Amino acid sequence: MANKIIPSVKGTRDFYPETMAVRTWLYRQMRAASEAFGYQEYDGPFLEPIALYAAKSGEELVKEQAFVFPDRGGDLITLRPELTPTLARMVARKQGQLAFPLRWWSFGPFWRYERPQKGRAREFFQWNIDMLGVNSPEADAELAAVGAEFFRRAGLTPNEVHILVNNRRLMDSRLDALEIPPARRKAVFRLIDRREKMSAAAWETYAGEIGLSPAQLGGLKALLADERLWEQSEELVRFFAAARALGARDYLRYAPHVIRGLDYYTGTVFEARDRDGEFRAILGGGRYDNLVADVGGKPLPGVGFAMGDMVVTLVLQKYGRLPALDAPPAPILVTVFDADHLLEAYRLAAEVRREGFPVAAYPEPAKLGKQFKYAARIGARLVLVVGPDELAQQAVTVKNLRTREQTTLPRDALFQHLHAMLAT
């Protein structure tokens, strides 16, 4: 029994119908938000050569976190840890044939060999959405607006989640002003990224370790405290103006400490969080120029974001926004009175199906009590019975499990009755 069940692979999840319904529902909201802005769905292979990721991505993502294994021919295969390189290749291959600005979105599984924990598994689903071929703050704002649209459709309000925005070029120019050399830029970005995770003292010590002078540290702290820093960036000024016009401004907020981990972001970056800061980022994205050139295409600017299925589900649970997803497999169950009436029951089930109702038929003769109990278990609303009495009068018995009312009616009146009973 239990000791014989082969365990699932670490960090993977079994999607029972209830959780599968959540995944499907998320997919539907993502689709709705994407298509509302004119984005087309696409997908790539789940298996990719490791070389695709060697070109870019964060080094750790490929070296430490990707599932890599040799296929039977000896080639190294990767279970895709992210979609962006695949997107870059797909675009590079047909660059001359595609209409830009290109708006594409996707939802599918990804794999990363990490230690599972809250909001993070080794196999997860992710929504990716990108616009390629333009380099405008307005395009950036549109992507943020798509994210906001998703939250709105999912029932998450600006009081519960927000999208924090910053711009790397802005931060670069400010760091220039502090005379922090480009060589140290990466370390300083990491420092900024970790501000809220460390104590103030530890953070300042860390700043000293990466070579910041007290004056530079002071300047940096002033930067990170300046909520109006964005007003000095023409890109961000236009970004917020466009977001306002798009009706997404209430979800957006400038946040000087948001910098994002991935190296390839070049301009505006953003991430969504629950406002209590309880969970990790719900989505993350930004402008990444030169991506397509990295895989051999012509240079092409782009902006996009990714949202995993796990954190957003936690947030939706926290705020009680997951809809009741307990739809029964079928609202109608046809019982099998006994072995002699099995085919009669099946003929009835087929007729009702042809009328357009989803119908489950009991798959073998069994006591009616057992079949009624089963009907109640699966959440069926109506139970149909054709036994000897009904057959003799060309009738069907219909029991409404909610009201417990039962009537026997002629077959030609059945459909009308079913429509009426299931209408509410």
Partner RNA sequence: GUGGCUGUAGCUCAAGUGGCAGAGCACCUGACUGUGGAUCAGGAUGUUGUGGGUUCAAGUCCCAUCAGCCACCCCA
CA-based angle 199:200:201, to the nearest 5?
A: 90
Q: Report the residue from 31, 120, 184, 185 that binds RNA according to the rule CB under 7 A.
A: 120
Identify which of residues 20 and 222 has a Cβ nearer to RNA in the complex.
Answer: 20
Sheet hosting strand 123-132, strand order edge to edge? 40-41, 102-111, 123-132, 302-308, 283-287, 268-274, 161-167, 252-254
Q: How near is the Cβ of 83 to RNA at its closest, in Å?
A: 10
Please tell me whether residue 79 binds RNA under the rule CB under 7 A.
no
Q: Which stretch binds RNA (CB under 7 A): 209-217, 226-234, 319-327, 373-381?
A: 373-381
Q: Tell which residue, 382, 362, 195, 162, has the closest CA to residue 274.
A: 162
Identify which of residues 64 and 234 has a Cβ nearer to RNA in the complex.
Answer: 64
Q: Tell which residue, 260, 174, 256, has the closest CA to residue 216.
A: 174
Structure tokens at 75: 């080639």
Identify which of residues 73 and 369 has a Cβ nearer to RNA in the complex.
Answer: 369
CA 302 – CA 266 distance, rounded (Å): 10
Q: Tell which residue, 364, 332, 366, 365, has the closest CA to residue 349.
A: 332
Please tell me whether residue 112 binds RNA under the rule CB under 7 A.
yes
Please tell me whether residue 65 binds RNA under the rule CB under 7 A.
yes
Q: Which stretch binds RNA (CB under 7 A): 109-117, 212-220, 239-247, 411-419?
A: 109-117
Q: Which residues 292-321 are close enough to bind RNA by CB under 7 A?
A: 306-308, 310-311
- Give me the residues paired with residue 101 across strands: none
Q: How near is the Cβ of 318 to RNA at its closest, in Å?
A: 12
Q: How near is the Cβ of 408 to RNA at its closest, in Å?
A: 7
CA 219 – CA 225 distance, rounded (Å): 10
Please tell me whether residue 124 binds RNA under the rule CB under 7 A.
yes
Name residue, tokens 């029964």. 328
Tell me the backbone φ, ψ of residue 104, rounded to 5 degrees: -130, 145
CA 231 – CA 256 distance, rounded (Å): 12
Identify which of residues 127 and 254 has a Cβ nearer to RNA in the complex.
Answer: 127
Q: Report the residue from 144, 281, 303, 361 that binds RNA according to the rule CB under 7 A.
A: 281
- Cβ atoms of 352 and 330 closer than 8 Å: no
Identify which of residues 149 and 219 has a Cβ nearer to RNA in the complex.
Answer: 149
Structure tokens at 413: 């009146």
- Beta strands 382-385; 395-400: pairing state: antiparallel
Residue type (1 letter), 79: L
CA 378 – CA 19 distance, rounded (Å): 16
Q: Which residues 189-218 are close enough to bind RNA by CB under 7 A?
A: 190, 193-194, 197
Q: How near is the Cβ of 164 to RNA at its closest, in Å?
A: 12
Q: Which stretch binds RNA (CB under 7 A): 25-33, 213-221, 323-331, 374-382?
A: 374-382
Q: How near is the Cβ of 232 to RNA at its closest, in Å?
A: 26
Please tell me whether residue 375 binds RNA under the rule CB under 7 A.
yes
Q: How near is the Cβ of 308 to RNA at its closest, in Å?
A: 3
Please tell me whether residue 116 binds RNA under the rule CB under 7 A.
yes
Residue type (1 letter), 91: V
Q: How near is the Cβ of 350 to RNA at its closest, in Å?
A: 19
Q: Report the residue from 271, 303, 330, 348 that binds RNA according to the rule CB under 7 A.
A: 271
Q: Which residues 140-199 are close enough to bind RNA by CB under 7 A?
A: 190, 193-194, 197
Q: What is the DSSP string of 222-250?
A: HHHH-TTGGGG-HHHHHHHHHHHHTT-GG
3-state class (DSSP) for residue 48: strand
**Residues near RNA (CB under 7 A):** 1-3, 7, 10-12, 58, 60-61, 65, 112, 114-121, 124, 126, 190, 193-194, 197, 260-262, 271, 280-285, 306-308, 310-311, 337, 367-370, 372-373, 375-377, 383, 385, 387-390, 397, 399, 401-402, 404, 406
